[in-house]
Structure 1
Amino acid sequence: MSTDPLALMRTAGYDVTHELGRGMEGVVAALDDARVVKLWDRRPLDEVERLRTFYDAVEAGLGAAGAPIAVPRILEVAEADGLVLTVQRRLRGTSVGGARPEPVLDVLEALARVPAHPDLAVLPVPDGEPPFDPAVPFGESLAALVVRRAPLVDGLEDGAVEEMAAALRALTPVPARLVHGDLGPVHVLLEDGRVSGLLDFGYVSTVGDPAFDAAVAACLQDMFGPGAADATAGFDRLAVQRFGYEPEVLVLHRAAYGLVTASCLAGYPGRHLDWCLALVDTWAQS
């Protein structure tokens, strides 16, 4: 940003007190005990409005499913100096952090109780791609995405993309449910020992197969630590026991997630890209 973000917020009429954090998409500052203001770095107004629609539907779906988990609903949208500002609910709680599967499994169970709704399928999967069609089986949509994104990824083995797509298309369709798509422990907030909030929907958030969410959550328990493989395997075992998912399906979904994420990191070599490609290799060698 070319100007001080808090000064821009105040010029726009928001009496923010202090910065709470900043990331790839913008800066968040405290407005009061119940609200924050976010200054988006690059999101145009129409995309933010879609996110507003999505968050409203997420909260309604979780409430109807008996899971009163707060999400950062967008309460107000404004523009200043060509940038979008949003007033959002201020979530309470402390990030889970570390490899702690139980709270994440509780969130997965709650998400899997939220049935498909058109407003839950309005976001691109991922940026630059169209939303998934809830009427199309998730495996077919994911297969088509893999095929479209694969040319952006260097180093894929010959035939691996076609084989992965065929395996995804062959998955038995399941009733579509809310999918976070990037559920790591850092996205789960706890208050008084219970899940109180859920952050950072939007990367590949849609409606689809809950097993995809579980597969991704497993590898996000510990991405780069020395115990990463054990954390993924341990989470898989718990997901199989609790939800009945097939282990090989989890590995396949992780590979698809790895390929799609690698395509978003094309041109940015480093350990994150290597980690994504390792997810693909693990499936290819299984």
Structure 2
Amino acid sequence: MSALARLRAAGYPVTHEVGRGMEGVVAALGDERVVKVWDRRPRVEVDRLRVFYDAVAAGLREVGAPLAVPGILDVDEVHGLVVTVHPLLRGRALALDGARPEPVVEVLEWLSRVEPDPGMAVLPVPDGEVAFDPAVPFGTSMADLVERRAPLLGDAVGPDVVARLAEALRGLAPVPPRLVHGDLGPVHVLLEDGRPTGLLDFGYVSTLGDPAFDAAVAACLQDMFGPGAAAATAAFDALSVTRLGHDPDVLVLHRAAYGLVTASCLAGHPGPHRDWCLDLVRVWERR
């Protein structure tokens, strides 16, 4: 039985499939809501994600940000799978209109204004790990994570590089923790009339931390594999320096940490994505 058939049998009047990803299927539930069937997530993890989204939505409202997030309105179980109901977010993905840095930078500006809330620090960073403690400097937490994840890469990153990367992260000046999306690519930003109105797919490295990490990752996600990838990253970094006040060397350092951690999540799946992640480490290493 298909996911939509299961939902209909359970009483959900779904009309059509909206999307399908690594974690499940999303279907339309009338004009204002969608319902998601999770392939693998246990109830406890989805409940934790609900706490996170509630805190994020409240924080964005408090600063007047015009950004909707896919908060969880209800949680159910159908045939042993977790099912969640969400508001339908309006807008068109930035990636479909051509990746432009300005809307993403605007999102980063809003995120950096959100006051921290304990609910924003409940998610593991990443899955299988522990949540970051916002009382611990973000650089220290990231250094610890790099050291835990590096062995999964075997000899792809030398122990001397791991040691120097962790040392550099621990040497960063502590900054007041702010809301970090952690994986803010153009596909995650929704636009209406050219302005950002919605954010998708929190959860990979979503926590309270250093806004420079978010900016660093967003820069390299503008164009991952195209011929203009390096130029797109450089252009985004330039905006991060002038509009957000970030140190360019810190951006490269954070990208290396993101690259190592993400490569470790792909350790059993060699290919272009893993190679791209490891290149982020090499760019930092060569500086």
Asked whether the two chains share a fold, i.e. TM above 0.5, the reply is: yes
Q: Deviations over 1:50-104 (max 9, x none)?
A: 1011011111001111103100010000001110000001100000113310000
SS of 1:159's equivalent in the other structure is helix
Residue 236 of structure 1 is matched in structure 2 by 237
> RMSD of the alignment, in Å?
0.7
Count of residues in correspondence between the two structures: 284
Give the letter for the 1:165 counterpart. A
Q: Please name the residue that 2:86 is paired with.
A: 88
Query: Is 1:108–2:108 an aligned residue pair?
Result: yes
The alpha carbon displacement at 1:173 in A equals: 0.4
Secondary structure class of the residue paired with 1:112 = helix
Equivalent in the alignment of 1:60: 58
User: What is the rounded CA distance, in whole Å, between the counterparts of 1:146 and 1:111 in structure 2?
Assistant: 24
- The offset of 1:157, in angstroms, is 2.3
| 1:75 aligned to which of 57, 73, 82 | 73
**Separation in structure 2 between the aligned mates of residue 277 and residue 195 of structure 1, nearest angstrom:** 31
Q: Percent identity?
A: 70
1:91-240 alignment, distance < 5 Å: 91-97=89-95, 98-154=98-154, 155-240=156-241
Letter in 2 for 1:122: V
User: Which whole-Å CA distance do the structure 2 matches of 1:33 and 1:196 have between them?
Assistant: 18
Structure 1 stretch displaced more, 225-234 or 153-162? 153-162
**Match of residue 279 from structure 2:** 278
In structure 2, distance between residues paired with 1:279 and 1:36:
36
In structure 1, what is the Cα distance between the partners aligned to 2:236 and 2:208?
22
Asked if structure 2 preserves the Cα contact closer than 8 Å seen for 1:99 and 1:231, the reply is no
Which residues of structure 1 form unaligned runs of 5+?
A: none
Q: How does 1:22-33 map to 2 (within 5 A)?
A: 22-33=20-31
Take 2:244 and 2:192, find their aligned partners in 1: how far apart are those partners? 25
SS at match of 2:75: strand
Question: Would you identify which runs of 4 or more consecutive aligned residues in structure 1 move more than 3 Å?
Answer: none
Following TM superposition, by how much is the alpha carbon of 1:254 offset from its aligned partner in structure 2, in angstroms?
Answer: 0.1
SS at match of 2:256: helix
1:83-136 superposed Cα distances (whole Å, 9 cap, x missing partner): 000000110000011331000000000000012110000001000001000111
d(CA) in 2 for partners of 1:24, 1:193: 28
Out of 5, 8, 27, the position equivalent to 1:7 is 5
TM-score normalized by structure 1?
0.98
TM-score w.r.t. structure 2 length?
Answer: 0.98
Residue 183 of structure 1 deviates from its aligned partner by: 0.1
Deviations 1:212-247 (A, max 9, x none): 000000000000000000000110011000111111
Instruction: Name 1:16's counterpart in structure 2.
Output: 14
- What whole-Å deviation, never above 9, does each CA across 1:123-163 have from its counterpart, x for those lacking one? 01000001000111100000000000000013112301110
What code does the residue aligned with 1:250 have? Answer: L
One-letter amino acid of the counterpart of residue 200, structure 1: D
SS at match of 2:18: strand
Unaligned stretches of 5+ residues in structure 2? none
1:259 positional shift: 0.3
Which amino acid in the other structure matches residue 144 of structure 1? Answer: D
Q: CA deviation at 1:12?
A: 1.8
For 1:37, the equivalent position in structure 2 comes to: 35
Q: What's the offset of the Cα at 1:193?
A: 2.2
The Cα offsets for residues 194-225 of structure 1, whole Å up to 9 and x where unpaired, read as 21100000001000000000000000000000
